Amino acid sequence: MSTIENSRPNSGAVREGQVEEKKLGSTVSVHKLFSFADSMDKFLMTVGTIAAICNRLAQPLMTLIFGELIDVFGRAEGKHIIVHEVSKVVLEYVYLALGCGAEAFLKVACWMITGERQSARIRNLYLKAILQDIAYFDVEVSAGEVIGRMSGDTILIQDAIGEKVGKFVQVIACFTGGFVIAFAKGWRLTTVAPFSAQERIVETYKKKCKRLSKNGVKQGLVSGMGFGFSIFLLYSVYATSFYAGARLVRDGKATTSDVFRVYYALTMGGNATEAEIIEAAKLANAHQFISGLQQGYDTVVGERVVQLSGGQKQRLAIARAIVKSPKILLLDEATSALDVVSEKIVEEALDKVMVNRTTIIVAHILKNGSIVEKGNHNALIDIKHGFYSSLVKIHSNALS
């Protein structure tokens, strides 16, 4: 509510050179305060209100984008993926900044323009109202009061119906939007600060952390012992290899250069060439989908290879197995846990890679959830009408 004070003397009688004045205060409603707005002013106020709401909602929305940024660093595997994902989040920040700039401009411009337009209209109407006979200014009101009200009061009205309204809308929008987003994302945490429950929540969190801390200490001890033992084995192997090499050099069976050449060949090895990698991928039916990736053969798939499907993982594993053209290929449930389409593609890849090399395929046959037969080759082949012996007979007949 806004208040405009009007001075109206009751009698206007002059007694002993003093004029008795009685000031009356009248309260004006918000609707009455904006009664001087025309259609253009209403349009400007609508645009300014929408811009103010959107501008202030950017602050709680920024926390959501920041949360996405934290999630990117948590789930990304490999620097190339991190840069790519962070770039997307940065673009969201840029779009938010551009939107905030445009909305802030519209909010300030629209409310200041409409405030100036309405205050100018009030001045004109006030000027028309005071165009009275000269006697009016001798009895009813003084000339200084007229000038003061025209200059001072209209400025106060302009502030009340101008930019301050936009700021008020901004505060309400930020308050409401912040609570809505907070309750939507985590209503359990949203009520902690308003009800001053920080200390109680912290104590509860400490109790939970103590339990996890005990498990973490145990896990750390076991992990440390395991890691230490693995390092012990590693350097023990180094010591054994150098000791054996020194014995060979002492006995004249090898030279020092031979020992180091063998040692570094085993520890470092050689990398496959790009041509070998592409050839292995083609044999495994993996070249096409690898070429379709954004970074091709330079794509970092990560530890759990979450970017690839089951069939793609299997074909990639087959390509890695044959990249050095091994003489013997061991396949253990190569098509397990695949859908029909992926299984067909993997089987076609296996048909290609099994050519000109010995292939051992391990397969489990279950019946009603139980293993059908179990044993070595001789034991299984002696079972008459058994599954394994039947498969061997079919294979022998096919070869003959």
Domain ranges of the chain: 32-185, 205-271
Pairing between β-strand 370-371 and β-strand 358-362 as defined by DSSP bridges: unpaired
Confidence at residue 225, expressed as pLDDT on a 0 to 100 scale: 92
**Per-residue tokens: 315:** 């074909």
Q: Are 174 and 57 in contact (CB under 8 A)?
A: yes
What's the mean per-residue pLDDT of the chain? Answer: 77
Q: How far apart are CA 349 and CA 285, in angstroms?
A: 6
pLDDT at 3: 41
DSSP character for 151?
I
CB 126 within 8 A of CB 149: yes
Q: Is the CB of residue 331 less than 8 Å from the CB of residue 359? A: yes
What is the predicted pLDDT for the residue at 278?
Answer: 87
User: Residue 376's CB: how many other CB atoms inside 10 A?
Assistant: 7
Tokens of 297: 């053969």
DSSP SS3 for 94: helix
The rounded distance, in Å, linking the Cα atoms of 202 and 196 is 12
CB distance 82 to 76 below 8 Å: yes
Rg of the chain over CA atoms, in angstroms? Answer: 42
CA dist., res. 96 & res. 62, Å (int)? 8
pLDDT one digit per residue (tens) for the chain, 400 residues: 334 444 444 434 333 333 344 444 456 677 777 878 888 888 988 998 898 888 888 888 888 888 888 887 777 666 667 777 888 888 888 998 898 889 889 988 888 888 888 888 888 887 787 776 766 666 666 656 667 677 677 777 777 787 788 888 888 888 888 888 877 777 666 666 667 777 887 888 888 888 888 888 888 899 899 999 999 998 898 888 888 888 888 888 878 777 777 777 666 556 778 888 888 888 888 888 888 887 788 877 766 666 677 778 888 888 888 887 788 888 777 777 677 777 777 778 878 878 888 888 776 666 777 778 888 778 888 888 888 888 778 867 766 6
Please give the structure tokens belonging to residue 263. 């040692």
Q: What is the pLDDT of residue 83?
A: 79
Quote the pTM value.
Answer: 0.41
Pairing outcome for strands 18-19 and 14-15: antiparallel
> In the chain, where do the E strands start and end?
2-7, 14-15, 18-19, 23-28, 328-332, 358-362, 366-367, 370-371
pLDDT of residue 36: 80
Pairwise CA distance, residues 384 & 381, whole Å: 8
Distant-in-sequence contacts of 102-108, Cβ < 8 A, 24+ apart: 102/51, 103/51, 103/52, 103/54, 103/55, 103/58, 104/51, 104/55, 105/51, 106/47, 106/48, 106/51, 107/48, 107/51, 107/52, 107/55, 107/166, 107/170, 108/163, 108/166
pLDDT confidence of residue 8: 40
Instruction: Give the tokens for residue 67.
Output: 């949360």
Question: CB under 8 Å to 279, separation ≥6 — which residues?
Answer: none
